[in-house]
Chains A and B, each alone.
Chain A
Amino acid sequence: MIETRGLRKSFTSRQGREKKVVDAVRGVDLDVAEGEIFGFLGPNGAGKTTTLRMLATLIEPDGGSATVAGADLLKDPGEVRRRIGYVAQGGSTWDDSTAREELVLQTRLYGVRKSEALSRAQRVLDGFQLSEYADRKCKTYSGGQRRRVDIALGIIHEPSVVFLDEPTTGLDPQSRAHMWDEIRRLRTEGMTVFITTHYLEEADALCDRLSIMDNGEIVASGTPAALKREISGDVVRVGLPAGAAATAAEVLDTASFVNKLETHDDGVRLYVDDGATAIPLILRALDAGDVPLGTIELHRPSLDDVFLTKTGRSLRED
C-alpha cells in the first residue's frame, strides 16, 4: 500500500548569516501492507512527521521514490491526494465552525455532491459518537472530542490509506484508550493506517508492524514481538555505587548466562535469556567478586530496549 525507496529531505535553516543544512530524513525505505496498522516510533525530531508530510504530498521530497495507494508520489501527487487521508498533529478544526459543517465541507472538497456529503457526515458522526455535539462550535469540544473530529475529517472521503500524526498526544489515558479503539475500527473497515508516535505502549499495543526511526533513519522494522525477540531475552539492571561498575563488569563478563553486557556510570546492564534464573547467579557472582551491590532490577524487553540497543539511547529520556 505504501512503498518508499531512499526517501530524503533536508531543510536549510539560517542562524544569523550562516546557513545550516539539516538532513531531516536520510533515505527511508518502507513497505506497508494493505489493511495493517503501521507505526512509526521515534523521539521528537527523528524525522517521523517530515516523512509523513512527504507521503501526504505536503512537502516535496529531495530524492528517492514512493508509491502511495498505487499512485506515484512524485509524478502524480494529485492522485495520491484523492486516495489518502491525513490528520495533522496540531488539529485541523476551526473554532467557530461546527463539526458537521467541517465534515460536509471537507467531503465536498473531494467532489462529492452536497446531499451525499450530508448523509456521509451523519454516518461518520454516528460512527465516532459525535452526533450529540455535531452542531455545536468546535471551540466547545473537549480535547478528545476535537481529536475525534480531526480523525473523522481525515477519513470521511473513504481513503485507502490514512496518515495519523501523533493521534493521541496530549490526551488523557481514557481518551487515549478510546482513540485506540477508533483506530482499530478504521482497520476493520479496510483502511491501511499509518501512525507516528513517541509512546512505546501505543506502538506496542496498537501496531501490527512498526519501524523505529532515529535521526532521520530507520534503525529497525518488524512486528513488536519480533523486534523484542530480536534483542534476545530479558535485561537485568544492576545498580552499583560509583566506581564499582568496572569491577562488576569484569566479574560478570565471563559468566556463561550473560549474552551481552553494557557498562554505565551507575551500574551494568545484562542481557540474559531468562531473568528469573539469572538473578541468583548474578548475586552470587557479585558477592564472590566482592562487589558492593546497590539495586537489582529485572526488566522484560520493551520497545524501549529495542530502541536502546539500536541507538544507544533511551526513548524515555526525552
Chain B
Amino acid sequence: MKLLRDTGLIFERQMQLLLRNPVWIFVGVFQPVMYLLLFAPLLKPALQVNSNAEAYEIFVPGLLVLLAIFGGLFQGFGLIAELRAGVIERSRVTPVSRLALLLGRSLRDVVSLIAQAVIITLLALLFDLRVFIGYLLLAYLMLALISLMTSAVSYGVALRVKSEDALAPLMNTVAQPVLLLSGILLPLTFAPGWLQGVADWNPFSWAVDGTRALFRGDLGSPDVWQGLVIMAVLAVLAVVWAAREFARSVR
C-alpha cells in the first residue's frame, strides 16, 4: 500500500514536470519519423518484399524497440541533474520507499515511451501498416518492459557514476553492440551463422523477434512468449538492483 502510494507521488511529480515542458514529444517523435520517411523506403527493395506494408511490418517494430532501448538508457542524465540539485538526498531523508523513488521515475519513462510509440504507430498506418489492436497492445507491453528495464539500469548506473561525463560513453558502449546484434534495422535472417549465434545471446534480439511476430499477427509464434518472459525477468532484475542503489548511501 505504502509502496503504491509513494510510487504514485513520485510518478505524479515526474509527469507534472514532463508535461510542463512538452518539447520532448516533438523531439521524441522527430527522429523516428525521419526514419519512417527517409530510411523505410529503402526497405521494400532491400528486403525483397512485395509491398510497403510488409516492409513496415518488419521495420516499425524494430524502430519501436530501438526507441525503448535508447530512450531508457539515457534517462540517467535527468537523475544526475536531480542528484546535483539535492532532490534525491532530500527524498532519502524521508521515510519514502526507495523502490518507489525508482519506480515513480521509470513509470514516467514507460508512459512517455508508449506515447511516442502510439504516435509513430498512427503515422505508420498512413503508410499502409496494418496491425490487429490486441496484438499491438501486447507489443506495447513488450516495449513497456524493455523501457522499464533500460531506464532502471540507467538510473542504477547514474547513481553509481554520478557524472554525465562517465554516463554518456558508458551507455553508448552498451547501446551500440546491443543495437547491431538485435536485428533492429535489418532482420538477422540475412546474417551469417556466427553472427546469428552471437545475437542469440542478446536478449533484445529476442524482444525484436517477438515484437515483429506480433506485428505480423503471428501470436502463436514462440518468439512472442519467449521475448515477453525474457524481458519481464530482466526488468525485474534491473528494478531490484537499481532500487538497491537508491537505498545505498549516495554521497
Given contacts A90-B86, A91-B86, A109-B6, contact A96 B92 (CB under 8 A): no
Given contacts A58-B93, A78-B95, A81-B95, contact A105 B86 (CB under 8 A): no
Min Cβ gap A3→B in Å is 20
- Structural contact, B13 and A106, CB atoms closer than 8 A: no
- C-alpha spacing A110/B94, complex, angstroms: 6
Q: Which residues of B contact A84 (CB under 8 A)?
A: 93
Given contacts A60-B249, A105-B9, A108-B9, contact A81 B94 (CB under 8 A): yes
Chain B residue nearest in CB terms to A153: B90
Given contacts A59-B251, A101-B13, contact A94 B85 (CB under 8 A): yes
Name the contact of A94 in the complex, choosing from B2, B87, B92 (C-beta under 8 A).
Answer: B87
Chain B residue nearest in CB terms to A107: B94
Query: Is A88's beta carbon under 8 Å from chain B?
Result: yes
Q: Is the interface of B mostly helix, strand, loop or mixed?
A: helix
- C-alpha spacing A153/B94, complex, angstroms: 11
Query: Is A232's beta carbon under 8 Å from chain B?
Result: no
Query: Is A280's beta carbon under 8 Å from chain B?
Result: no
Chain A residue nearest in CB terms to B16: A101
Given contacts A58-B249, A105-B9, A109-B9, contact A94 B93 (CB under 8 A): no
Name the contact of B95 in the complex, choosing from A58, A60, A91, A110 (C-beta under 8 A).
Answer: A110
Q: Which residues of B contact A153 (CB under 8 A)?
A: 90
Among A65-87, those with CB < 8 Å from B are: 78, 81-82, 84-86
Min Cβ gap A143→B in Å is 14
- C-alpha spacing A157/B86, complex, angstroms: 18
Q: Is the interface of A mostly helix, strand, loop or mixed?
A: loop
Name the contact of A86 in the complex, choosing from B2, B9, B84, B93 (C-beta under 8 A).
Answer: B93
Query: Is A179's beta carbon under 8 Å from chain B?
Result: no
Contact-residue bracket for chain A: 20 to 34
Q: Which residues of A contact B82 (CB under 8 A)?
A: 94
- Structural contact, B85 and A109, CB atoms closer than 8 A: no
Query: Is B21's beta carbon under 8 Å from chain A?
Result: yes
- C-alpha spacing A157/B90, complex, angstroms: 13
Query: Is B89's beta carbon under 8 Å from chain A?
Result: yes
Chain B residue nearest in CB terms to A50: B251
- Structural contact, B17 and A94, CB atoms closer than 8 A: yes
Chain A residue nearest in CB terms to B91: A109
Chain A residue nearest in CB terms to B9: A108
- Structural contact, A96 and B21, CB atoms closer than 8 A: yes
Q: Which residues of A contact B21 (CB under 8 A)?
A: 96
Chain A residue nearest in CB terms to B95: A81
Q: Which residues of A contact B95 (CB under 8 A)?
A: 78, 81-82, 109-111
- Structural contact, B85 and A95, CB atoms closer than 8 A: yes
Min Cβ gap A83→B in Å is 10
Max chain B Cβ within 10 angstroms of own Cβ: one of A84, A105, A109, A157: A109
Q: Which residues of B contact A96 (CB under 8 A)?
A: 17, 20-21
Among A9-46, those with CB < 8 Å from B are: none
Q: Which residues of B contact A82 (CB under 8 A)?
A: 95
Name the contact of A91 in the complex, choosing from B85, B92, B250 (C-beta under 8 A).
Answer: B85
Given contacts A101-B13, A105-B9, contact A81 B93 (CB under 8 A): yes
- Structural contact, B17 and A97, CB atoms closer than 8 A: yes
Query: Is A195's beta carbon under 8 Å from chain B?
Result: no
Chain B residue nearest in CB terms to A90: B86
- Structural contact, B96 and A109, CB atoms closer than 8 A: yes
Query: Is A92's beta carbon under 8 Å from chain B?
Result: yes
Besides A88-B86, A96-B17, 8 other A-B contacts (C-beta < 8 A): A56-B93, A84-B93, A88-B89, A91-B86, A109-B6, A109-B96, A110-B94, A157-B94
25 intermolecular pairs with C-beta atoms under 8 Å apart: A56-B93, A58-B92, A58-B250, A59-B251, A60-B249, A81-B93, A81-B95, A84-B93, A85-B93, A88-B86, A88-B90, A91-B85, A92-B86, A93-B86, A94-B87, A95-B85, A96-B21, A105-B13, A106-B90, A106-B94, A109-B6, A109-B9, A109-B95, A110-B94, A111-B95
Query: B: which residues have CB within 8 A of A?
Result: 2, 6, 9, 13, 16-17, 20-21, 82, 84-87, 89-96, 249-251
Q: Which 5 A-B pairs have the closest CB atoms?
A: A92-B86, A92-B90, A109-B94, A86-B93, A59-B249
